[in-house]
Each structure stands twice: as C-alpha cells, then as structure tokens.
Amino acid sequence: MQQLPYYPFPVRSGPVRRKLTYDVVVYTEDGHYFAEDADGHVFCQDSPTACIQEAINYVPSKPTGGKVYIRAGDYYLAPFNAPSSCGNGVICANIPYNAALIVEGDGDATRIHLPQNNTSNGAYLFWWIWNGTAPYTRKSVLRRMAFINDVNTGSQWMSVMAATASTNNSSGLEVDSVSVYDIQATSINATFWINMLYDVAFSRYRFFSINNNTPRSAVLMDTQTMGKIVDSFIFSYHGGWNAIENGAGTILVDSTEIYGLFNSAFQYDSTDGASHISVTNSIIGVPRINTNQLIQGYNGTDTGIGTLLYNYAGGYVSFYMENTQLTVPISYNGGGYNVAALIRINNVRINTFCKNPPIYINNVVQVDRSILRC
C-alpha cells in the first residue's frame, strides 16, 4: 500500500513525530476500498458504501467531530436496494450540534459515482441530519470532490445530498470546490436539497450536465434555509427544470455563471413573504452563439434559458438583480397564480440578440439603469 500523506513537525524533546491532517482516511487500492484511522488501523474493507459510511460513523463519536479524508480514486458503491437507517439516504450522518463533520477529498481526482437505485423512491447519496441542542452549532463541510452520475439506470433518481436539522434550525454547512458531473443515467432530482439550515455556503460549486435525462435543479434551498451560492458554475446542455430553486429560503447568488437550456434560471416553490433571491455580479445565458467558443465545445444556436423567473407553486416572489449580464429576456412566469411579486432589476446589461422582446414588464417589475443591447 502507498504511504499516506503526513506533515512532520518539531517537538520540544525526542524525534520528529508526524501529525496527520485527518481523523479517518478512505482510499482505494488494487480494486479494494479501505478506511483507516489516524493511528494506521484499518477498520473497514470493501463495505457496500466503499467504507465511506464506516468512516463517517467514526468521526461524530469524537468530542468535537473531525475530518474524513477521501483520497483520489474512483469509488463505486453497491446498489441501493432498501431504505437505510436514515430512510432514502445511502450514507447517513447524524451530527451532534456540538460537533463538526468535515468530508474532504483531492478535488476532481476524488470521484464518487452515484450508485444504482433499486428502491421505489428517489434517494440521496448523503443524508446529513443535525441533532440535539447546544449554545451554538459548528460548521460542517463537504469539500474538494466530484460526484458522477453515470451508473444509475433505475426508475428512481439518485442525487447527491439532503441536509436537514431535526429539532431546530442549524447553522453551518459549507459545500466548497465540489463538482457534479451528470453524464448519462437516470435524471438527477434536486442535486443538493437543503432544509432548515442557516449560514449555508456553496462556493466554487460546479454543476455540469450533458445527460439527456435532464436534471431538476443544481441546488434547492428549502424550508427557511438561508444561504449563498458564490463563485460557481451551473450548466446543462439538454436543459432541466431550473438552475437554482427556492423552496422557502433566502438565497444570495454572486459571481456565478448559469448556462444551458434550463426552463428557468430561478424557480420559486411554496415561498413566503420572507423568501428572497438576490443576484449580483453574475452571467446568465450564453454570451456567444453559433460559434465554437461555447461551453466544453458544445455549439448551439440558442441562448438557452427559457424564463428568468418561474413561480411554480404560487408562493410569494421577491427578486433582486444587479451588476449582471443577461442574454435572456427579463421575464417572469407567474404560473397562473394571482400572488404578490416584487422584482427589481438594477444596472444590468441585457443582450437578447433581439430574438424576443428584451423585457417583459408588468406592474411588478422595476428596471433601473440597465443597458439593452440588440
């Protein structure tokens, strides 16, 4: 077996010792999967979850939680045949409020393939639940790894993560430098479904779909979730329901690119008066068409996204956009519902190639200091 990474450091007396930067490491070698603790003890080999569940079980037992490091490699899990201890989650994490769970890989070199779903319901690879009470809650992290949708051919979908608090709203979830490659398999539902959490941050998130079984959404922030999506990239070649979905949350989108044939860029579900989406410093829609300079060499003749905003379930719509480039019309589809909406567009460059009227304006849309280019 290869030697695992370590960092030497000096001590006051005695020889140089080694300090590992994780509590548990998961790795693959010679076609097998292993989990090993920081003392070098292998405690799992070839479990149905490629030893990822066993590694996650180990960490919350520590007083402050800890880190699971998943080394570079391809991880194929056994088919999901029956509900687990957390229901429709393949890998379950019950996180005490006074602990933090950190799961980290080697970037896109750590590739976890979403498994076959043989159950009668849609499922999530990760199901993270926060339990208990504490004066404050710690931040848990999913960082630097890729998820590949190229295995599941069942009638039910398999998505990446559901995260929720069981007793009261929890703070602290960071999804950083995570990629999702939706290649060819049963469609993904809400790729990340986030419930009852605040201080949620998606940073450097990459969602890339070329699956003709189109996805529902790259992120769904639901049930009073408050969070942000920054420095991220969302693309679907064949389309999908929406790029970002607001169940009943408050979402900040900044420095993010959204491309592809989504039905809508932003979807509102059963939102309330406190629900909101704010978009700044972003690019929505393909800036070049009929060229060889499009995403990953995929040429196209359409700027992509059908509707900027869609009210799917009759909730309250509150939306603000500033300092952003659009190549789709500023359009709001009310879904046939007669509900209040507040939409404010400020200092936005709008380039629609004169395909459609660049702005659909009614009594709920206000557009200030924007540049219309045809």
Task: Give me 75's structure tokens.
Answer: 């991880």
Indicate whether 51 belongs to any domain.
no
Q: What is the pLDDT of residues 23-66, one digit of tens each?
A: 999 999 999 999 999 889 999 999 999 999 999 999 987 888 99
- The answer to whether the beta carbons of residues 184 and 157 sit under 8 Å apart is no
Structural domain total, the chain:
1
**What's the whole-number mean pLDDT along residues 313-325?**
91
Cα 9 vs. chain centroid, distance in angstroms?
36
Length of the chain: 374
CA distance 91 to 363: 48
Q: Is residue 129 included in any domain, yes or no?
A: yes
The Cα–Cα gap between 336 and 89 comes to 35
Contact call for residues 300 and 286 (beta carbons, < 8 A): yes
Higher pLDDT, 153 or 351: 153
Q: What are residue 43's phi and psi, to 5 degrees?
A: -115, 0
What does the DSSP assignment read for 195-220? Answer: ESEEEEEEES-EEEE--SS--SBSEE
**Is residue 209 within 8 Å of residue 175, measured between CB atoms?**
no
Q: The CATH number of the domain where 364 resides is what?
A: 2.160.20
CA 266 to chain centre: 15
pLDDT score, position 356? 45
**Residue 99's pLDDT band (cuts 50, 70, 90):** confident
SS3 295: helix
Q: Is 13 inside a domain boundary?
A: no
The answer to whether the CB of 338 falls within 8 A of the CB of 315 is: no
* Cβ atoms < 10 Å from Cβ of 365: 18
pLDDT digits (tens, 9 = 90+) for 320-370: 999 998 887 788 888 888 887 888 888 887 765 444 444 444 434 556 655
Q: Could you give the percent of the chain with pLDDT greater than 90? A: 58
Task: Assess if residue 31 is contained within a domain.
Answer: no
Q: Write 297-304 long-range contacts (CB < 8 A, 24+).
A: 298/210, 298/237, 302/261, 303/327, 303/328, 303/352, 303/353, 303/355, 304/259, 304/260, 304/261, 304/262, 304/328
Mean pLDDT confidence for 102-113: 98
Task: Return the CA Rg of the chain.
Answer: 22
Question: What is the domain extent for residue 114?
Answer: 80-373
Is residue 60, in this structure, part of any structural domain at all? no
Please indicate, yes or no, if residue 258 is contained in any of the structural domains. yes
Q: What is the mean pLDDT of residues 112-119?
A: 98
Write down the mean pLDDT value for the chain.
85
317 found inside a domain: yes
Given a cut of 70, whether residue 234 has pLDDT beyond it is yes
Residue 29 covered by a domain? no
Strand 73-76, strand 65-70: pairing: unpaired
DSSP assignment string, 102-154: EEE--GGGEEEEPPPB-SSS-EEEEEEEEES--SS-PPEEEEEEEEEE-S--S
Question: pLDDT value at position 256?
Answer: 98
Q: Which residues contact 9 (CB under 8 A, 6 or more apart)?
A: 16, 17, 18, 19
The token pair at 89 is 């989650």
